Amino acid sequence: MASGLFALLDDIATLMDDVAVMSKVAAKKTAGLLGDDLAVNAEKASGFLPDRELPVLWAITKGSFLNKLIILPLAFLLSAFVPMAVTIILIIGGLYLAYEGAEKIYHYIIPHKKEVKDTPDLELSKKEVLEVEKAKIKSAITTDFILSVEIVIIALGAVSTEALSTQIMVVSIIAVLATVGVYGIVALIVRMDEMGYKLIALNEEDDSFSDKVGKLLVRGLPWVVRALGFIGTIALLLVSGGIFSHNIDFFHHLLPSWPTFLRDGLIGLVIGFLTLVPVSLFKKLFKKKAA
């Protein structure tokens, strides 16, 4: 009886060791998406009245957890019964990531016409402000769903050769950490300017230490969001290139003497622009027909 209990505890310890090791591997694979995830969600959660930023962010966070609850069971079922589907979805996700990265670079080189922002205005009624909030929350949750699919599938791909129990634990841990980590940092980012204004108003002295720190936080917010956007774009290309090089034999043996990050970045960039051209043409044709 005692020996059976010790054997069970040993099996559990071994499983947890495997989960810890594979969680690190999966975290490295999905870390590239977090920069883009942070930039997107920081943009989605900003532009509200100061007293509405945290409630809006909490609503988006709850939607993100719901997205994970929908995605995780489906991903595990596919992994258990149709493992090839995971690879196919992974490659499709890689195409999407490469396209998104190339599109951002294209718009940076050739700026597109800016659309009117749907941020709440002080002159709007309370009902209108809530309607704008609902629209932005819905948009943010939809974007989160797409990013969550990518994170879950990439994490699942990293542990696809492990036992199903290990896959479930590792991918679930990554999903929870991604949500808590991303939205925790987003909360700090969107409140940077508010914290700065409070520090500036902390005392009546001019050019005090609190004033300097406060002004740094206020001025730094746009730069932080831009930096995250830049890092996220690079990450999109690296992650997408890594997906192709690990799952398609041709890309795996391409440019063997190159450093991995340069090869993956180049593959992601080339495939991204090859995807961007037909997608852009399709969008233009669709807009013409709609008009």
CB burial class (10 A; 0-12, 13-18, 19+) of residue 155? buried
Determine the average pLDDT of the residues in 184-202. Answer: 79
Measured between alpha carbons, how far is 45 from 52 in angstroms, rounded to an integer? 10
What are the distances in angstroms from CA 153 to CA 83, 219, 269?
Answer: 11, 37, 21
- Rounded to an integer, what distance in angstroms lies between the CA atom of residue 33 and that of residue 12? 31
Place of tokens 């730069």: 223
Token pair recorded at residue 50:
């100061």
Alpha helices in 110-163 (DSSP H): 126-158
- 121-147: average pLDDT: 73
Q: What are phi and psi of 145, to 5 degrees?
A: -60, -45
Q: pTM of this prediction?
A: 0.69
Q: What is the pLDDT of residue 48?
A: 65
Q: Between 276 and 128, whose confidence is greater?
A: 276
Residue 22 pLDDT grade (very low, low, confident, very high; cuts 50, 70, 90): low
pLDDT by residue (tens digit) across 245-268?
888 888 988 888 899 889 999 999
DSSP state of 123: T
Q: What is the largest CA-CA distance in the chain?
A: 76
Under 8 Å between Cβ of 192 and 221: yes
CB of 271 closer than 8 Å to CB of 135: no
42-89 pLDDT, tens per residue?
666 666 666 777 788 888 889 888 999 999 898 888 888 888 887 888
Q: Is the pLDDT of residue 6 over 50?
A: no
Q: For residues 158 and 86, what is the distance between their CA atoms, to the nearest angstrom?
A: 11
Output the six-digit token pair for 22.
């594979």
CA atoms within 13 A on the CB side of 47: 19
- For the chain, give the number of residues: 291
pLDDT at 228 over 70: yes
- Rounded CA-CA distance 66/80 in Å is 22
| CA 274 to centroid of chain Cα atoms | 23
Instruction: Check residue 47 and give left, alpha or beta (phi > 0: left; psi -120 to 50: alpha).
Output: left
Confidence band (pLDDT; 50, 70, 90) for 12?
very low
